[in-house]
A and B are shown apart, each in its own frame.
Chain A
Amino acid sequence: MQSFDLVKPSTLAEAVSALAADGAQALSGGQTLIPVMKQRLAAPSVLVSLGGIAEMRGVAAAQGVLRIGAATPHAAVAREAAAHYPALAKLAGGIGDPAVRNRGTIGGSLANNDPSACYPSAALASGATIVTNRRQIAADDFFQGLFTTALQEGEIITEVQFPIPERAAYVKFEQPASRFALTAVFVAKYANGVRVAVTGASNDGVLRWKAAEERLSANFSASALSDLNLSGADMMADLHGSGDYRAHLAKVLTGRAVAAS
């Protein structure tokens, strides 16, 4: 790891100002950034830790919406969201290991948009709103491909707002080595329809499986998917599975998520 300055602001305003520095990089848990820095693949000159900003932490439910501060670690979401949005709490409680869950944050995960991460699927399937220091971004507009989001330079996620569904479930099939999602599916059923998000599978990152959403909106049952198939052509292929395998898993896991919700 190369040397860097660490700034620990206590307010959002201080963080925004610190991030304006040349070579500054936000740190929100660091579960990806720190290993990359250790490998010298990234060498920011200033790290701005978002962990000490009180206004960016916490979980609260009101009027059918669950609001999670962006700097809230996964372990806190697993605990505090359980009563309001159990599927989301379960997802958070299944990320990595205890060390990761107590360091990694929801904002850090969404901003990184790893194609195999868990949280993007929950945000997308819930039609969540990503709130930043500048604006509100709909999840449908936020995720823009592998490790790419709508965030602009210096923009900080402050909060994520999840409309609470009637029913939901997240089913993850773990990649055997990393235990990230080899493919995972989040299904959420709302009064106005069902949303299905698939992570770990597509070459373009987290995706909505709209054909499945239509079927499930009409008939919320795994059998509604029986003659539906995703194409493996645009899916990731690596040591752990072909595109066809991932496409197949997406279907199987969607059915299981419906059954588990």
Chain B
Amino acid sequence: MTDREARVAHEILRIARDELRLGDATPAPDAALAGALDSLQLLSLVVAVEDRFRIVLEDDDAAGTRTLADLARLVAARSDAALIPAQAPEPAR
């Protein structure tokens, strides 16, 4: 994971915990999203990520997006650099 991707992953985790209050359901970076979240939670996360990073995630994107780390890579590749947090996160737990 590049530094840019790690910063995106960190921000997605923050959204999941603080904005969507997913609590224990908040997925670990390498866990399958579909296993950790139910369909409403997953959709809520996708919508929140689209809003935060001003991108549109297409149905075709879902095929290559199994984990939160996959999602972070996709978002990092699409999103405007100005929308990605500059602060380097603490090392992933």
Our verdict on whether A and B bind, yes or no, reads no
**Chain A interface (Cβ within 8 Å of chain B)?**
none
